[in-house]
Amino acid sequence: MSGMTKPSAAAPAVDLADEVAYLEAVAQARKAADAYYGSGESELDDDTYDRLLRGITAWEADHPGQIAADSPSQQVAAGVTTGDVAHTVPMLSLGNVFSDEELTAWAASLQRRLGGEAVAGWAVEPKLDGVALAARYREGRLVQLVTRGDGTTGEDVSHAIDDITGLPARLTEPVTIEVRGEVLMTEAQFEAANEQRTAHGATAFANRRNASSGSLRAKDRAYRIEQTFLAYAALADPEHTTDPALAELTHTQLIARLAALGLGTTADTPVATVACTTLEQVMGRVREIGALRAELDFELDGAVIKADNPADQERAGMGSRTPHWATAFKFPAAQKITVLRAVEWSVGRTGVIAPRAVLDPVDVAGTTITYATLHNPADIARRGLMLGDHVTVYRAGEVIPRVEGAVASLRTGDEQPIAFPEVCPRCGAGIDRSQERWRCERGRACGQVEAIRYAVSRDALDIDGLGEKIVVQLVDKELIEDFADLFTITREQLLTLDRMGDKSADNLMAAIETAKTKPLNRVFCALGVLGTGRSMSLRIAAYFGSMQAIRDADAVALEEVDGIGSEKAPVIVAELAELAPLVDKLVAAGVNMEQPGFVPPAPADAEAEGESKDSELPLTGKTVVVTGGMTGPLADRSRTEMTELITRAGGRASSSVSARTHLVVAGENAGSKLAKAQELGIEISTPEELAERLAAYLI
């Protein structure tokens, strides 16, 4: 499936040779489970625990008469009870599968439970990595929160009612209902939680689940920590709800109903619950969720597959620990625990000094990780990191791995403080420490080569043939000071470079000339303005239409651009003032400073008469999803170039199909996005049809 990655097979289960090894494994898993479901801070990462538990389960299957009474495989949430509030309907765990083959086998077993009849339909949704919670509403008012506990009883955590978004104090209708879901932290909430925690003298949380679990149970803190609730179920029997229609809803309809009541769900996210008719579509959606994992601001560790029809669920029934009609497809672990050995300091293209963690090598999501980002010195201090710490390392998709925090329970006392630089690690100049992100006092002059390399990269000016070695030579020979000087360089000057022949010089001169005609968003991206990148540059260029309009804009005007808030806008204004000489040089060199397809806002009187900005553009007001391989006139277009094309034509590019999508451009091997578009009745176009429709915008 184009653009998607198939979740890799899970690491093998731990091999237990005899009963002694089995009992040792049970004790190790028991200790880890007590910590995981208690404080949230376990000495084992998820992957190691899963492998251990699978080994225990396999040994027990071969020795059913020798199962330990305290085996974590025998109870919901490993049997860790943290309260005495009874669940009138058990809160069960989910079984796990780790491959397409295991999912196929599970689906076949479900069909056997249904007497050989095919499942009427499937629902696929993300497996959220948080803390399971039951929220009880009486006549629309939130009255009690209860953790899952051991599935039979849980802990009353109603003291946290005011701290959880997605759980409104009152629903939009006065219904009595028990909703079940996951409490977790978004990335921003996690950062805020650690800021508050360290400000009050406590150790930073090692990871988000640790933070959620500990914060949910904390009663006597001097500070409050915000979390997020996302619903995935509700009790539909008459004993627990005054909304009788719930029992008739499919699972996908139920999630939509919960969202309509004002509850938090994944409905408005790229990984929203979707209905599938075939197992092939299910597998496609699982891969899609895995590919989207890195784009989310909350964590997930798999996808959940459920029989969508309530009749199928009832017929399949429940086991003692898991429902027979649902399972979780676990992705390769995005988090592992390893040791922080050193911190290296590098200087970026804008002079920002960035720390990088040097780690004991560890496999995370199929990639061996030796380095991870530490963001900035203030972040290191907030997390209380030390050399020698066991740290949680997080990586999802192609995102650069990052250190989440230290596992404080594993400290030995031999850990050492991290040394911060006194001068710029590259040039020895002083350091500007006025912001959290430290910067060399020389600013961009310190990161000269990096800034030029960024400007000519594929997502910016895309000057083919201008590699790092050539840039270094151009700088060392003082032929250029910045990337604007490239547009005034001569062929004769290029021929003075090592290994630069006539043909190479001609090709490079042609590529530089072509770069002059790039759309404004590419030119703006090349500037490397702090707080912007490829996507933000496109939004800014599409909103203002010209470089001059951007330069004339103040912070208030910039805040009107989607994604620019009150904190980022002044930074962009200041950056553009600093970059003014560079922009002037680009203008003088004849570089394009306009955004193709831009239509200025209509006058106020025209808007009053119903005319709106971009009213004549072919994709005005339309959300467009591109999927599969492009063909025909669009065959050579990258996803970035497709996004630019859609934006020039007045549309908005999106990565996921939902009820709000207006058009899906389906290329070769379009897969589940095409299937969902067909299911929702969304307009579908081939690449060739889109090219014809937007012929005037193909530049």
Residues marked as catalytic: 127
Closest to 673 measured CA to CA, from 272, 328, 396, 126: 272
C-alpha dist (Å) from residue 342 to 207, 375, 413, 473, 532: 20, 15, 17, 32, 30
Q: Interior CA angle at 641 toward 447 and 680, to 5°? A: 130
Give dist(CA 22, CA 66) in Å, integer. 10
* Contacts for 434 with CB less than 8 Å, ≥ 6 apart: none
What's phi and psi for 546, nearest 5 deg? Answer: -150, 155
Q: Name the helix (H) or strand (E) containing 135.
A: strand 131-138
> Which amino acid is located at 226 in the chain?
E
| CA distance linking residue 459 with residue 661, whole number of Å | 26
Query: In what helix (H) or strand (E) does residue 515 lie, and over which residues does it extend?
Result: helix 502-515
Bridging pattern class, strands 367-373 and 300-307: unpaired
Between CA 564 and CA 535 the distance in angstroms is: 12
Helix axes 100-113, 279-292, angle to 10 degrees: 140
Q: Is residue 664 helix, strand or coil?
A: strand
- Which residue has 């980002």 as its token pair? 373
Torsion of the alpha carbons at 667, 672, 674 and 678, rounded to the nearest 10:
160
Please check whether residue 370 is in contact with residue 361, taking contact to mean a CB–CB distance below 8 angstroms: yes
Q: What is the distance between the alpha carbons of residues 236 and 239, in angstroms, rounded to a whole number?
A: 8
DSSP secondary-structure letter at 403?
E
Query: How far is the C-alpha of 357 from the C-alpha of 345, rounded, in Å?
Result: 9
CA distances to 149, 294, 369, 653 from 624, rounded to whole Å, are: 44, 21, 36, 5
d(CA 328, CA 486): 54
Tokens, residue 26: 């049970």
The DSSP line for 605-631 is HHHHTT--TTTTSTTTT-EEEEESB--
d(C-alpha 370, C-alpha 360), whole Å: 6
Number of alpha helices (DSSP H) and beta strands (DSSP E) in the chain = 23, 23
Q: Would you give the end-to-end CA distance of the chain in angstroms? A: 29
What is the Cα gyration radius of the chain?
A: 28
Burial class from Cβ neighbours inside 10 Å (0-12, 13-18, 19+) for residue 23 reads middle
Query: At which residue do the structure tokens 């360089």 appear?
Result: 489
Which residue carries 């199928």 as its tokens? 312
User: What span, in angstroms and rounded, lies between the C-alpha atoms of 177 and 174?
Assistant: 9
Q: Do residues 195 and 143 make contact, with C-beta atoms less than 8 angstroms apart?
A: no
Please, which residues have CB within 8 angstroms of residue 410's CB and are 6 or more apart in sequence?
43, 337, 389, 390
Q: DSSP strand E in 424-478: where?
A: 431-432, 439-440
